[in-house]
Structure 1
Amino acid sequence: MGVQQQAVGMHMAADGQWLTFLALILPFLGAAVAPVLTRMMGANAAWVLALLPLYLFVHFLGFLGAVADGGTVSGGYAWIESLDISFSWFIDGLSLTFALLITGIGTLIVLYAGGYLKGHPMQGRFFSFILMFMGAMQGLVIADSFLALFVFWELTSITSFLLIGFDHVRAASRRAALQALVVTGLGGLSLLAGLLVIWGATGENSLSGLLESGSALRDAPLYMAALLLILGGAFTKSAQFPFHFWLPNAMEAPTPVSAYLHSATMVKAGVYLLMRLNPVLGETLAWETILPIFGGTTLIVGTLLAVRQTDLKLMLAYTTVASLGLLVMLTGFGSEKAVEAAVLYLIAHSMFKGALFMVAGLIDHEAGTRDVTRLGGLRSAMPITFTAALLAAFSMGGLPPFFGFLAKEEIYYGLWTGDGWGLLLTLVALVGNGLMFAIGFAVALKPFLGEKVETPKHAHEGPVLLWLGPVVLAAAGLLTAIFSATSHFFLTSPMASAVAGTPVEATISVVPHIGLALFLSLLTVAFGIAAYMLIERLRSGMVSLLAAIGWGPDKGFDQFVTGSVKASSAITRIIQNGRLDFYTTATFTALALALIVPMVMFGELPAMPKWPELPFYEWAILAIAFIGLGAILHARDRLTAIVSLGIQGFAVAVLFMLLGAPDLSFTQFMVETLSVVILALVMTRLRLSPADHRPGREKAIDISVAALCGGALALLLLQITQLPFNPYLSEFFAENARVIAHGRNIVNVIIVDFRGVDTLGEIGVVMIAGLAILALVRIRSGKRWPEPAPAEGEK
């Protein structure tokens, strides 16, 4: 396997190449040993397994300096050299930030799962699934070649299906897993088609090459087709309206899955794809219209549906939908500040939402419920959890001095352009941010403040494995904002530069700057506080509104699945009715039409040949063939018809011999003999008489189909024989049979060497058919097929 070493802005040594390749496969190796390790160590296995993503996190940290200086790292290995396809990776500010989020949060999630699923009989399987998903997501964000990107993209769908359906004994879990797989799987097919269109339009099959092609894709006639197909993959993966319904339903998964897949990693895969392709797909009217419209709609729909919920995880899930909409809207807006805002918000969201999801799971684990209306007064019983929740809510609400504040300020800087479009999107962002403020503090405050509420379990602080993750992520949201200059240098600026396609320098800090953005932030906070105070009324209003609307995409999915099943059943009853004669008739009719229709449509019918002048013995052979045909048609039982069938085969074999092809003639003799013998053996186990008791209408149909097929094949052969003979293959085999294959018999060399794989396949088919026939012949008399019912009027 050839090694392709590439580097842009930085040279990558062979050791670094292999270390990155090891980083790609290490999660899958960890997944293989996780069940065994868990059986040996129990929940403590989490500490050992967490070392894998921690190592990956440290490995990717090593690229920070080079990437911050404007460099990129790429490498890989030839995969399918004949098609110029490689297994390659490309690390710049965008992919590196995602890789750090995946591995850093992944380390905390593995530890969290060790405490959350402690004592679960399938904990080892869960570790295996989560590590496989980590490897798939990591591969997705650093993949360079289109094929590698698609493979990892689909792996995330498959592994998330396993994780969402982890509690497979519950119907709701199975439905949610299937729903996520169907929606994201269809999106994956759209992505594949989009990548193929891009490849065909630009000649590039790697992301790095595509990014260097400038405006080639935007100028291509297939730009709109590529855009729509790519958006199909991105919108389904990142749960954009109207495909948003699968993400909240995925909350049926254990909380570690929700905290990892559906806040920090998988659901951002679509956003990653849009950010990655922004330099080559962006800056067009379609891009800057479609993305803001769908993103803004998703933002508002997600926040309104979040207000409706009382389950802590569902409240957070719908705000995740809203946040993804905000990211898509910012990515498609088109300004440099909007790109900076998208980058800042993506990082902030990963930290505060991961922390809040783990808080929700911790409350459920220790109090026995996630229903916010049944919780209260947990502050004294769970002080560490309360502190982590409050810090994360401050970031989610966009309050200083947290990273979410930087993101919210930059959002308003990026969207406010002074025109009507900018004003509309700014208003959408303000409403969405205000409602997310209310939901964030509802999750962080309502379970902990107020009077103590009796919960199903006696609430107390969880073990360190459970509160370590939310504490670390909440603290990270604070520290990255306080040291914003460092965060911008190593993370925000390189990532924004990669998304914008030009150098971008982020400068926003926790120090408020007097201006319109600060005013809008204060307005957002005021609106958020009012929404928090009135959240019960808002929830009641949304319940009534949704009841009035009734139908929704989630219900539509069930109708789609039900309709698909009914349609497939109806089609199956028509085309797979269990009757072999119907299958045979349909197959041969399709064959005849496939041969005749193109010849008629394109004027390729052959010229009719003259009446041949044949020697008397050739006429005799043809006469024997026609006599055999008559014997078959007039045979009174099936055995006679089978034996008569061999007459045609033997007549053709004799013609081959007369025309100078003794080897082909011998093969035909053997095939005909074996066919007759085998069919006769099979028929001895079946009822052999009467020969045919079908009504005349069915006989007429079969005669017509048979004549049509025979005529079609005859026309095809006549057309082929009338074409000029091309001796290229004959000359090639004659020249190379002796030189390359060391054989004198050219026919044997073709069969055994040049077409050896074909011959092997044919041998395999014959072997399987022989085994099947042997099984039929060996059926005991007591296990014969039931005899057919006599025809009407037959005694």
Structure 2
Amino acid sequence: MTADGQWLTFLALLLPFAAAAIAPVLTKALKHNAAWVLALAPALIFLHFTGFVGTISSGETLTGGYVWIPSLSVDFSWFLDGLSVTFALLITGIGALIVLYAGGYLKGHEHQGRFFSFILMFMGSMLGLVVADSFLTLFVFWELTSITSFLLIGFDHSREASRRAALQALVVTGLGGLSLLAGLLVIWSATGVTSMSALLASESALRDAPLYMAALVLVLGGAFTKSAQFPFHFWLPNAMEAPTPVSAYLHSATMVKAGVYLLMRLNPVLGDTAAWETILPVFGGTTLLVGTLLAVRQTDLKLMLAYTTVASLGLLVMLTGVGSEKAVEAAVLYLVAHSMFKGALFMVAGLVDHESGTRDITKLGGLRKAMPVTFAAAVLAAASMGGVPLFFGFLAKEEIYAGLGFADGWTTLLTLVALAGNGLMFAIGFAVALKPFLGAKTETPKHAHEGPILLWLGPLVLAGLGLVSALLSGVSHELVSSPMSTAVLGEPVTVTISTVPHIGLPLALSVLTVALGILVFIMLGQGRATMAGILAAIGWGPDKGFDQVMRGLTRLSFRVTNIIQNGRLDYYMTATFIAVAVAVLVPMGLYDEWPAAPQFPRMPFYEWTVLLIALIGLGAVIYARDRLTAIVSLGIQGFAVALIFMLLGAPDLSFTQFMVETLSVVILALVMTRLRLSPTDHRPTGEKLLDIAVAGTCGAALGLMLLRVTQVPFNTELSDFFSQYSRVIAHGRNIVNVILVDFRGTDTLGEIAVVMIAGLAILALVRIRSVKPLADNKEER
């Protein structure tokens, strides 16, 4: 990549975040025209990545980036091939349409600017994820998608359902993110590489590593939670609490496809093993069936589409797990087709709700004349979703059956699963597209009419692209499908499927799919009642299980907190000092680092005098009859230390010690006086003995550690460094002051901050105690 191309790519990755920063201000200034201006950001990024299509389609890959953390060999880097560029085009192309759609859908909303900011931050996070090369860059953007999707799903934060859905999505995908992080660390340990490009170049190094299974399970944990695979599928339908522009974007080209992207990206290095070809088809096939069956149960247009998104993600995972050339081609074609028709149908559902006031399919009908453009977009999108000839979805469905077939018992089972899932999705797609628009007109909360251009432009464009891209399948395959399949498979692939039906098993299965879909469509009411009865009989499900787990976690946290944070300061202090003693003594015992018996030095009489003063002060503290006397007596210890500093030729340290000790005694005495604490200690003898034991153990531990430290040969490197550079660098003669102020100035600042915070806490405590009697007196009066 040229220097200009690298710089422009870096700007393209930052542009969504820059647009997000100005979105609230711009929305306030431009009102209803802000969407057109903000949509320019993803449109420009789309054009930028379009410039790489020709190079990528010729078989090249591009890398670039900048040094991020040199000490760890971590770069902010990107890797562009058919997979990442296709995702980038979907994210930004559909993103531009979503921004426009949101401009019409949330017109007049008081927080529209905030929404634009959230959606653009999410766009930038997803874009960074799919082009990331270094593992750390990938993980950072992965987590950013979880955080920004949390903000989007919980956008209507005044509703409890929105808050719950947002929290649920964050918890599930956040835990998956931790699993992915562990997986990336395992891959790093197993292969020694920290970037996707280097990992892909290592070929079978990861498959042959002893840590392969650990890496696979951890990576699947991240991918399955993000892409809502069973049993983690429950968060995705609940995310429908978000505004429809969010649903259309998250469920078509972005959030939920992040896991599928990761599996496709790692297919060349993790795939082609028995574990990969078993786990992915099993979970993917199960998710496909569960998603479609649950979709039949729904009456909300968005929920019907949400569950078919779950099913589609399962189908993509299943095909990626099969891993054959045809299966990979099918996964690629279906991913692109799904992005177009599902984005269009979600926007149609939102448009119907926006203009009629309801999304309940049982309460909608006869809207065809009132909303002709929306109806046309819905039919085109449903035709692609159902795999009708001349649409891109038809190409994907033909390739699905060509990639599975009936080669053996395993592929036969997967083919039957795909057949059932595709038939049910055909029925749901046309139910969403036809039932609200055909039949007798029903009374709706709003007088239904066609929406403004901002609302129908997006679905019409995406639905139309599903037709145009199939009719121009040669161009589509050359620029998108073949390069993407090549990246997923790890070897050159040429996709050739066209809209011309080819007589054979795939076409026969397609016809059977349509027949099954029509049958389910006709009997959708009976199917809905049947599924409702089955689900009522089952009762418990993962969604309810999530609530139970969260409640159990809350109760456990409450009980643990009551044990370890019971409000007793003496308990906290005892536990802290026990921990200190253990931390010092246990390592010394394990590694046999006990000090040798010291030789008692010969001291002059004045040093004996200072030691005697310290001992007298210690006795005064122990035998003091009230706390105030103990505090004053405690100052004797500090003064004794200050005298030692003075006798050993450190007057500056001695002066500092005198000042600190004096201030400490004065402040503590003042606090104790204001707090009016009990003047005597009424603790039972057992507690006193425990405190004596803990204090004695800590004192012995620290004394032993100091003895051991002083018996180690003195290393003069630091002393020599400070002596040599304190005058040259810091321009100070007093080395101690230079160390405190310059060499460890940040540490000193931290100490000052601690003292200040402690002082503020003491002040607050004193004020609370001094104000309370006044309040009590007022109540009495």
Instruction: Identify the TM-score tier after normalising by the shorter chain.
Output: over 0.9
Matched residue, 2:500: 511
How many residues were matched structurally? 776
Q: Structure 2 matches for 1:385-424, cutoff 5 A?
A: 385-416=374-405, 418-424=407-413
- Note the C-alpha offset of 1:660: 5.2
Structure 2 residue corresponding to 1:428, chosen from 414, 417, 440: 417
Matched residue, 1:352: 341
- Note the C-alpha offset of 1:132: 1.8
SS in 1 for 2:156: coil
Matched residue, 1:274: 263
What amino acid does structure 1 have at the position aligned with 2:476?
A: S
Report the more deviating stretch, 36-45 or 65-74: 36-45
SS in 1 for 2:217: helix
TM-score w.r.t. the length of structure 2 is 0.95
Matched residue, 1:220: 209
Report the more deviating stretch, 758-767 or 768-777: 768-777
Q: Distance in 1 between matches of 2:406 and 2:257?
A: 27
Identify if the C-alpha distance between structure 1 residues 60 and 659 changes in structure 2 by more than 3 Å, giving closer, same or farther.
Answer: same
SS in 2 for 1:250: helix
Matched residue, 2:635: 646
Matched residue, 2:296: 307
TM-score w.r.t. the length of structure 1 is 0.93
Structure 2 residue corresponding to 1:188, chosen from 164, 177, 201: 177
The yes-or-no answer on 1:29 pairing with 2:9 is no
The yes-or-no answer on 1:627 pairing with 2:627 is no
The yes-or-no answer on 1:106 pairing with 2:95 is yes
- Note the C-alpha offset of 1:784: 7.3
Identify if the C-alpha distance between structure 1 residues 569 and 513 changes in structure 2 by more than 3 Å, giving closer, same or farther.
Answer: same
Identify if the C-alpha distance between structure 1 residues 747 and 784 changes in structure 2 by more than 3 Å, giving closer, same or farther.
Answer: farther
Q: Distance in 1 between matches of 2:636 and 2:41?
A: 71
Identify if the C-alpha distance between structure 1 residues 226 and 730 changes in structure 2 by more than 3 Å, giving closer, same or farther.
Answer: farther
Q: Distance in 2 between matches of 1:272 and 1:328?
A: 10
Identify if the C-alpha distance between structure 1 residues 662 and 415 changes in structure 2 by more than 3 Å, giving closer, same or farther.
Answer: farther
Q: Distance in 2 between matches of 1:547 and 1:771?
A: 58
Report the more deviating stretch, 81-90 or 535-544: 81-90
Matched residue, 2:474: 485
SS in 2 for 1:218: coil
Asked if structure 1 preserves the Cα contact closer than 8 Å seen for 2:257 and 2:313, the reply is: yes
Q: Distance in 1 between matches of 2:767 and 2:512?
A: 85
Structure 2 residue corresponding to 1:542, chosen from 531, 554, 570: 531
The yes-or-no answer on 1:296 pairing with 2:293 is no
Structure 2 residue corresponding to 1:158, chosen from 124, 140, 147: 147
Structure 2 residue corresponding to 1:57, chosen from 46, 50, 73: 46
Identify if the C-alpha distance between structure 1 residues 771 and 785 changes in structure 2 by more than 3 Å, giving closer, same or farther.
Answer: farther
Structure 1 residue corresponding to 2:3, chosen from 3, 13, 22: 13
The yes-or-no answer on 1:565 pairing with 2:565 is no
Identify if the C-alpha distance between structure 1 residues 367 and 735 changes in structure 2 by more than 3 Å, giving closer, same or farther.
Answer: same
- Note the C-alpha offset of 1:379: 2.1
Q: Distance in 2 between matches of 1:454 and 1:781?
A: 67
- Note the C-alpha offset of 1:632: 0.7
Report the more deviating stretch, 211-220 or 55-64: 211-220
Report the more deviating stretch, 302-311 or 115-124: 115-124
- Note the C-alpha offset of 1:776: 5.9
- Note the C-alpha offset of 1:449: 2.1
Structure 2 residue corresponding to 1:333, chosen from 312, 315, 322: 322
- Note the C-alpha offset of 1:116: 1.7
SS in 2 for 1:77: strand
Q: Structure 2 matches for 1:109-124, cutoff 5 A?
A: 109-124=98-113
Identify if the C-alpha distance between structure 1 residues 657 and 227 changes in structure 2 by more than 3 Å, giving closer, same or farther.
Answer: farther
What amino acid does structure 2 have at the position aligned with 1:532?
A: F
The yes-or-no answer on 1:600 pairing with 2:589 is yes
SS in 2 for 1:388: helix
Matched residue, 1:525: 514
Q: Which runs of 5+ in 1 are unaligned?
A: 1-6, 788-795
What amino acid does structure 1 have at the position aligned with 2:463?
A: A
What amino acid does structure 2 have at the position aligned with 1:759?
A: T
Structure 1 residue corresponding to 2:57, chosen from 68, 74, 80: 68
- Note the C-alpha offset of 1:462: 2.0
The yes-or-no answer on 1:715 pairing with 2:704 is yes
Deviations 1:79-123 (A, max 9, x none): 223332222222211111111111111111112122222222222
Deviations 1:468-509 (A, max 9, x none): 111111110011111111001100111111111111111111
Identify if the C-alpha distance between structure 1 residues 427 and 780 changes in structure 2 by more than 3 Å, giving closer, same or farther.
Answer: closer
- Note the C-alpha offset of 1:196: 2.6
The yes-or-no answer on 1:754 pairing with 2:750 is no
Structure 1 residue corresponding to 2:157, chosen from 159, 168, 186: 168
Deviations 1:222-276 (A, max 9, x none): 3322222222221111111111111100111111111111222111011111111
SS in 2 for 1:455: coil
SS in 1 for 2:296: helix
SS in 1 for 2:65: strand
SS in 2 for 1:509: coil
Asked if structure 1 preserves the Cα contact closer than 8 Å seen for 2:406 and 2:415, the reply is: no
- Note the C-alpha offset of 1:76: 2.0
Deviations 1:509-533 (A, max 9, x none): 1112222222222222222222222
Q: Which runs of 5+ in 2 are unaligned?
A: 777-781
Report the more deviating stretch, 144-153 or 628-637: 144-153
Q: Distance in 1 between matches of 2:385 and 2:286?
A: 20
- Note the C-alpha offset of 1:675: 1.8
State, as a whole percentage, how many aligned pairs show the same letter. 77
What amino acid does structure 2 have at the position aligned with 1:13?
A: A
What amino acid does structure 1 have at the position aligned with 2:3?
A: A
Q: Distance in 2 between matches of 1:444 and 1:743?
A: 80
SS in 2 for 1:78: strand
What amino acid does structure 2 have at the position aligned with 1:430?
A: L
What amino acid does structure 2 have at the position aligned with 1:458?
A: H
Q: Distance in 2 between matches of 1:386 and 1:735?
A: 82
- Note the C-alpha offset of 1:409: 1.2
- Note the C-alpha offset of 1:378: 2.0
Asked if structure 2 preserves the Cα contact closer than 8 Å seen for 1:681 and 1:777, the reply is: no
Q: Distance in 2 between matches of 1:74 and 1:784?
A: 70
Deviations 1:716-771 (A, max 9, x none): 22332333444443444445445554555443443333323222322332344345
Identify if the C-alpha distance between structure 1 residues 85 and 471 changes in structure 2 by more than 3 Å, giving closer, same or farther.
Answer: same
Q: Distance in 2 between matches of 1:337 and 1:608?
A: 78
Matched residue, 1:263: 252
The yes-or-no answer on 1:324 pairing with 2:341 is no
Q: Distance in 2 between matches of 1:146 and 1:246?
A: 26
SS in 2 for 1:685: helix
Asked if structure 1 preserves the Cα contact closer than 8 Å seen for 2:84 and 2:130, the reply is: yes
SS in 1 for 2:443: coil
Q: Distance in 1 between matches of 2:608 and 2:751?
A: 34
Matched residue, 1:790: none
Q: Distance in 1 between matches of 2:666 and 2:209?
A: 62
Identify if the C-alpha distance between structure 1 residues 653 and 254 changes in structure 2 by more than 3 Å, giving closer, same or farther.
Answer: same
Identify if the C-alpha distance between structure 1 residues 201 and 614 changes in structure 2 by more than 3 Å, giving closer, same or farther.
Answer: farther
Asked if structure 1 preserves the Cα contact closer than 8 Å seen for 2:295 and 2:307, the reply is: yes
SS in 2 for 1:514: coil
Structure 2 residue corresponding to 1:577, chosen from 566, 572, 583: 566
- Note the C-alpha offset of 1:210: 2.2
- What is the RMSD computed on CA atoms of the aligned residues? 2.3
- Note the C-alpha offset of 1:637: 1.5
What amino acid does structure 2 have at the position aligned with 1:85?
A: V
- Note the C-alpha offset of 1:583: 1.4
Matched residue, 1:791: none
Q: Distance in 1 between matches of 2:371 and 2:513?
A: 30
Matched residue, 2:779: none
Q: Distance in 2 between matches of 1:507 and 1:83?
A: 44
- Note the C-alpha offset of 1:549: 0.9
Q: Distance in 2 between matches of 1:573 and 1:62?
A: 60
